[in-house]
Structure 1
């Protein structure tokens, strides 16, 4: 019966088509229409993922939704609600016979996502579908963990882009504090982001007396990369303040010229953190995320069996 449930790639085109009229639909509405389309019974819908925490079909619909959004084919006008985009409508107008991971590669939004998370020419999830029989269980597990982590990072980055720039500036200060800068003291951090702040969004004191400060610049960009001019301005702001250490964080990426400008700076030490590294650090230090499930992998205790 489990084999009757379609894989997430097979759900892509039917899901996009059911949204073709432009109306907004909730997850439950989408689930019901798709279940009818694939002729799934209530017994099918009761089948769980191995952890038992979610329905298998619901899980696969979730992955479908996620990849359609990465490609810019659908959008979330509000939480838990899905709607087709103009890009999605234009794609359906070509009367496609299929829509799978390979077809997503033609869309700029998907290409941008791949660049952000350094995905290979074909996503690891696509590889799992084609080579899982050739992989060891450990390799499959590692690839799955990578997929889940990338998905979490994508959602986290989307949330940071959706919120205000003030929220983002506070977020990066909290992250640096969690990483140990400022000794976790509230008074050790200052949020300065405002008009006329000379390009400084926050200050972290590395010691109680404030003798060693790290200045912060945070840029919440949606698509544009941070260029060399922004880095030069930041370096100039640090020089005006008479400090030598700065961290520049962004939800986007740094251009090659921006990276070179930071590297060439002699008087000021500049650390650049792009969207990918930012989400990796947030996940590592549990900021804005929570543990959904813990799986313990056990092995035989050979010492126990020694006589």
Structure 2
């Protein structure tokens, strides 16, 4: 997937090809422009399936959208109708100079782009670009924002995991029970779960009763490791405990990692279905279900309401 992603051109690379595709002066719809650019860059359906980090839009489509915005801000294209793009006389004049590339450094020299910068950077001592370069690839604002959010999330996950490692075994056992309940196991009933384990126990640390009568149960093993990995003996002990209890569903959670042999042991289990949750996944689930974390700041990203401006 990463190789495919690296083959998708960044929004600056798209600028000149997109402008040239509009050179005939005919208005073109977004889908038509997308098809032409997809063909120009030899992109496949697999490329087009790759999403921006938020997962809300195709990565290539998002980059084409930002290319369009920059070309419009520079006066190279305009929108004669909703979702329709057309080259301007200024855009034709620029192409007549036979440019070999078109990037932000070129836009900054164009009158309309300078005017746009002046309008939206009043009161600032200098212009701040809304693009960063990562491994030589220009990122759109959505990509930059998503990357920043991901870095903050990783740091939060690290801090959360450190806190779990600092607390007692019994605290960790109660934490994983609470997490599974927040995820919907036990239908959110307080009495749906019990903690059964003891410190250092190789057996069962907790049970979640899926239904009120306890006919469906999920057994839990929690290992709070400050270092090292969970090995296959731990998994075999858990499988044995499940067999003694006559149950076939188990969740093994740890603040650490699972060794390859441990993962294989769980996968090879035929009678018992074992789900493994390592420290990384555990922290991410806690963040997703707001357990042990709280919202610090909220940022609202707004977009234009096109229907509002329809006459």
Task: State the TM bucket, normalised to the shorter chain.
Answer: 0.5 to 0.7
Of residues 211, 215, 218, the one that matches 2:215 is 211
Give the match for residue 305 of structure 1.
309
Q: TM-score, normalised by structure 1?
A: 0.56
Whether 1:233 and 2:237 are equivalent positions in the alignment is yes
Deviation at 1:139, TM superposition (A): 1.0
Q: Which position in structure 2 is the counterpart of 1:171? A: 175
CA shift at 1:193, angstroms? Answer: 1.3
Residue 260 (str. 1) matches residue 264 (str. 2): yes
How far is 1:134 from its partner? 2.2
Partner of 2:194: helix, strand, or coil?
strand
Show the 5 A alignment for 1:124-273: 131=134, 134-194=138-198, 199-273=203-277
CA displacement at 1:196 relative to structure 2: 8.7
Q: Compared with structure 1, are the counterparts of its residues 133 and 245 closer, same or farther at alpha carbon in structure 2 (3 Å cutoff)?
A: closer
**1:198, distance to aligned residue in structure 2 (A):** 5.5
Classify the secondary structure of the residue corresponding to 2:252.
Answer: strand
Q: Distance in 2 between matches of 1:198 and 1:157?
A: 22
Paired residues, number: 180
Cα RMSD between the aligned structures?
1.8
Higher Rg: 2
1:251-281 deviation per Cα after TM superposition (whole angstroms, max 9, x unaligned): 0000111000000000000000000110111
Q: Secondary structure at the match of 1:217?
A: strand
How many angstroms apart in 2 are the aligned matches of 1:169 and 1:196?
Answer: 12
Task: State how far apart, in whole Å, the 2-side matches of 1:149 and 1:286 are.
Answer: 12
Q: 1:147 to 1:196 in 2, by over 3 A?
A: closer
CA distance in 2, matches of 1:198, 1:292: 38
Alpha-carbon separation, structure 1, partners of 2:302 and 2:284:
27
The answer (yes or no) to whether the contact 2:161–2:255 under 8 Å persists in 1 is yes
Offset from partner CA, 1:44-88 (integer Å, 9 cap, x none): xxxxxxxxxxxxxxxxxxxxxxxxxxxxxxxxxxxxxxxxxxxxx
TM, length-normalised to structure 2 = 0.56
Cα deviations across residues 191-235 of structure 1 (Å, max 9, x unaligned)?
011169661000000000000110000000111110101000000
Point out where structure 1 has 5 or more consecutive residues left out of the alignment: 1-127
Q: CA deviation at 1:158?
A: 0.3
